[in-house]
Amino acid sequence: MSTVYLSMSTDIIHGGHMNIIEKAAALGELTVGVLTDEVVASYKRFPLLPYEERVKIIEGLKGVKQVIPQKTLSYRENLEELKPDYLVHGDNWREGFQRCIREEAIEVLASYGGILKEFPYSPDAQYQRLEDAARDRLSIPDVRRSRLKKLLEMKTTVNAIEAHSGLTGIIAEKTQILEDGKAYQFDAMWVSSLCDSTAKGKPDIELVDMSSRISNIEDIMEVTTKPIIFDGDTGGLIEHFVYNIKTLERIGVSACIIEDKTGLKKNSLFGNEVAQTQDTIEHFCEKIKAGKRVLKTSDFMLIARIESLILEKGMEDALNRAFAYIEAGADGIMIHSRLKDPAEIFEFCEKFRQKDTKTPIVVVPTSFNTVTEEEWAQRNVNIVIYANQLTRSAFPAMEHVAKTILKNHRAKEADDMCMPFKDIIRLIPEE
């Protein structure tokens, strides 16, 4: 009997899926490759049902002989292992995002004489409504809040990019590339005090109050579904911090990072160039404990940011603080440096992991930006935050356009530098 391979990701089964499974099974013994959670999250939405449950659903469908994992969008690995007589797919992958995946699959099939069977794809209006409902569910505070921890369980390294408005949130949400059979997108968003302040034309000294920052988060949440990591600066007074942390948890933020400095906040990149005071270990631990006591769920993460390397207090001080903060209840440790050489960050990770193999490590490689996410993963770093690149890229572009208009006394020469507004409108959801 002929063998057949079909790949599926869905946690929403509709008539179109049943139809193509029936057609595939009619060709021979059908193996279905179910995309893993990590793969689905990399190109689509976060799966509502975990891989194990999706496998059980597919296993129960008539005509399915066996179910196996498909660990990439590329079919190569499974095709080369199974060498099925037929690969079945809808014809909707001939254009767009999956075109190169199709071309690779055809190449692999040709290498051993396999045949691609494509069936007409018919959009299902009911499925689209269900898919829209699924995306809406991902934006519910309780669901959104829990996703960062789930991503950390699912992936070696989670990445996040800065968002400071609804529009930048949409960019963080929808930007996607396909490379070497793998899809890549950002896992989460970082809402920083620096970018919030800069967008308002104000200095980064905790001048923008929490009400304004929370309003900004709500703007982002309204048009996105990805988890949010919040830059809590120093956290302020403990008496104020506990109320702010409760608010962040309630509205669906996944994590808050607070740094162990006191007094008027100064940006860490200035290091010792400006007067900065590091909090005592004892007082900062009390702040962590107070924040943890008021939380209502286990989903919300309170992450401690250590400024010892920034302030040149040494590696031993950084490590002592890390272990003390974890003992106090911190759910993660962010270690930072203003050096372009990542050596001291590497050293911290190595020495920290000798004692603690589980607590998430967070890095913000603004200065030490030559290290890839793969290299961070090798050093057991769990979260990589691109903290200000969208802000920093936008300002030079806007300034250049403004100067071009002034120079030419008209806007024609600037048009090629501008995205057509209808394309921007297409990014923005109507509902």
Q: How far is CA 384 from CA 74, 281, 362, in A?
A: 25, 25, 6
| Cα–Cα distance measured from residue 28 to residue 86, given in angstroms and rounded to the nearest whole number | 9
| Cα–Cα distance measured from residue 91 to residue 118, given in angstroms and rounded to the nearest whole number | 5
Give long-range contacts, CB 8 A cutoff, 24+ apart: 105-108: 105/75, 105/76, 105/79, 108/75, 108/76, 108/79, 108/80
The single residue listed with the structure tokens 């095709």 is: 79
| φ and ψ of 229, to 5 deg | -105, 125
* Pair 306, 234: CB distance under 8 Å: no
Q: Which of 75, 103, 84, 98 is nearest to 25 (CA)?
A: 84
| Cα–Cα distance measured from residue 340 to residue 365, given in angstroms and rounded to the nearest whole number | 9
| Cα–Cα distance measured from residue 265 to residue 207, given in angstroms and rounded to the nearest whole number | 9
What is residue 389's three-state secondary structure?
helix
The single residue listed with the structure tokens 């808050």 is: 256
Q: How many CB atoms lie within 10 A of CB 136?
A: 12
Give me the catalytic one of 11, 187, 204, 231: 204
Is residue 132 annotated as a catalytic residue, yes or no?
no
254-290: buried (b, 16+ CB within 10 Å) or exposed (e) per residue?
bbbbbbbbbeebbbbeebeeeebebbebeebbebbeb
* Pair 105, 117: CB distance under 8 Å: no
* Pair 329, 282: CB distance under 8 Å: no
Helices 315-328 and 343-355: angle between axes, nearest 10 degrees = 40
| Cα–Cα distance measured from residue 366 to residue 89, given in angstroms and rounded to the nearest whole number | 43
Helix (H) / strand (E) element for 351: namely helix 343-355
* Pair 308, 278: CB distance under 8 Å: yes
- 109: DSSP letter: H
Helix (H) / strand (E) element for 57: namely helix 51-59
**Catalytic annotation, residues:** 204
